[in-house]
Amino acid sequence: MSGHDHPEQAVTFKRNGRSRWAGICTEHRAKLKRREEERQRQIQLDKQESQRQQEIKARKLALRQQYMPLIERLESARDKYQMPVNARPQSSKNSPIRVEHTDPDDWIFMVPRSEWQEFIYDRFIRGKGYATLDTNVVKRAVVREFGIYDWVNRLIILKYEYKQKGRVRNQWYGKKGIWFLTDRENRMIPSPFLIIGKYLNALSMAGFLFPKHGESWKFTVRLQEADEPPRLQPPFAD
C-alpha cells in the first residue's frame, strides 16, 4: 500500500515536519538573540570596567601628586634629621644606664635617641620588676612625651588608615598600606611601633626584659638591683 492510498496521512506527516522545523528555527533564533544580548551585556560591563579603571588611574595620579612631596622628603630625611654618631648626646649623669640603640628611623621623635630611650627606662623599667610592658602602650607614651614631625605623622596616619580599610575590604593594601604608593614608598614610611618594639627587643637581648610567652610585642621587666642595674653598652661604643 503506497502513501497515495492514504493522502490524509501524508498531509499529517508534512504538517508535523513543518511544525518541527518551525520549532527548530524558533529555538535557534532565540539562542542567537540570547547570545547577542549576552554579548551586548559583556560589552557594557567591559566598558564600565574600563571606565572604572580609568577613574582609579586618574585618582591614583591625583593622590600621588598630592603626597609625593612628603614621600620625596622622606628620601633625604634620614640624612637631614639624623645626628652623626660622634655628635650624639650621651646619657645624662643621673641615668643609671646607657640606653643607646640605633635605628635609622628614630629621628621622627624630634629628640636625640638617648632622650626617648632613657625616658622608657625611667618610666617603664626602673624599679618596675616583673611589670608587663606592652609595646603599643610604650609607643603612645613616647609619642605623647616627644611628639612626631607633623608631616611624617600625616603619612603614618594615612598608612594606618588604609591598612585598616584594606583589611575590612579584604584588599591587598591591608598589608601594604597606602594603595596609591609603591611597595618601596610604603616601606619608607617609619613605624613608631616598630621603632619602639625593636628597642624593647634590644633591651630584652641585653637582659633587662623577658619576652612574654605567647604574646607578641609584650615583655616582662626583669628584677634589677635598685642601686646598680646592669649597663647596656651600645655596639658602637668607643
Q: What is the pLDDT of residues 121-169, one digit of tens each?
A: 999 998 888 899 999 999 999 999 999 999 999 999 999 999 999 999 9
**CA of residue 227 relative to chain centroid, distance:** 44
For position 100, what pLDDT does the model report? 63
130-134, 147-151, 196-200, 211-215 — which is least confidently predicted? 211-215
| Helix ranges (DSSP H) in the chain | 7-81, 113-120, 135-146, 150-169, 173-176, 183-188, 192-205
Query: Residue 96: pLDDT above 50?
Result: no
pLDDT tens digit sequence for 8-50: 555 555 555 667 767 777 887 888 888 888 988 898 889 899 9
For the chain, give the percent of residues with pLDDT over 70. Answer: 77
Q: Could you give the angle at the alpha carbon of 103 between the alpha carbons of 132 and 172, nearest 5°?
A: 80
Query: Residue 175: pLDDT above 70?
Result: yes
Mean pLDDT computed over every residue of the chain: 81
For the chain, give the percent of residues with pLDDT over 90. Answer: 47
Average pLDDT estimate for 184-206: 93
State the distance between the two ends of the chain, measured CA to CA, in whole angstroms.
123
For position 235, what pLDDT does the model report? 43
Tell me the domain boundaries of the chain.
82-221
For position 227, what pLDDT does the model report? 36
Q: How many other C-beta atoms are found inside a 10 Å radius of the C-beta of residue 122?
A: 16
Average pLDDT estimate for 109-126: 90
pLDDT tens digit sequence for 45-69: 898 999 999 999 999 999 999 999 9
For residues 150 and 73, give the distance between their C-alpha atoms in angstroms, rounded to a whole number.
Answer: 13
Residue 97 banded pLDDT, cuts 50, 70, 90 = low
